[in-house]
Amino acid sequence: MDWDIDYKWFGLKSYSEGLSLQNEQREKVKASSKVFLVGLEHSEVITLGIRSHKDKDLLSLSSQYEVVKAQRGGHATVHNPGQLIIYPIVPLRFLELGVRDFVCLLIKTTKEFFKDYGIETFEKEEPGLFTEKGKIALFGIQVKHGVSQHGLSINISNDLQSFKNIPVCNVKNEPMDKLSNYADNLPLEELFEKWVRIFKKNLVTCVMHKISNA
């Protein structure tokens, strides 16, 4: 199996531009069965997961912020500059990976990413990764016709005040944390490439494990 993973850093994009990039790459992945990882940061936006689409309090924020209904799992979150967004477009059906396998893969990779900076992260009931100071990474995926979209966001150097405007993942007053509280010199593109290297290693291990246990 060819483990050459394609990826690209796209820089600062609006949420709608990011969605267009995902849809474009998704069609290519469907045709080639090759993994593609989209890396970017978003202009400030509040996105509502499918569980928050009808929340009138959140929808009313559209007079102050851009609010977008997203076709991913979960509740509401914030994206803003300085936050690393990663959209893994992965042919799960072709790789014979289930949704649970994929989510575990994203979590394992992101935990290892933080461990490189000496940061221990842990899980709680709601999706995401946490430090002792607060939530530092958020997950929300969609799988359509066996191919994944959406993915994860990692707080790097972004303004965390914006999260106070919403119940993050349906939790009010959720404390938030970010990587810049622990390390300096954090170019998003380099961090994205670091995450990609860890993901590739873990994807190979995950798929080979599934094959050996088939």
Q: Which residues are catalytic?
A: 169
Measure Cα distances from 197 to 5, 137, 191 in Å: 10, 18, 10
The length of the chain is 214
Contact 160, 44 (CB under 8 A): no
In the chain, what is the straight-line distance between the N-terminal and C-terminal CA atoms, in Å? 16
Q: Give the whole-angstrom CA distance, residue 97 versus residue 152.
A: 18
- Round to whole Å and give the CA distance between 123 and 121: 7
CA distances from 138 to 73, 83, 123, 207 (A): 11, 11, 11, 24
- Which amino acid makes up residue 178? K
Distance from C-alpha of 127 to C-alpha of 151, rounded to nearest angstrom: 12
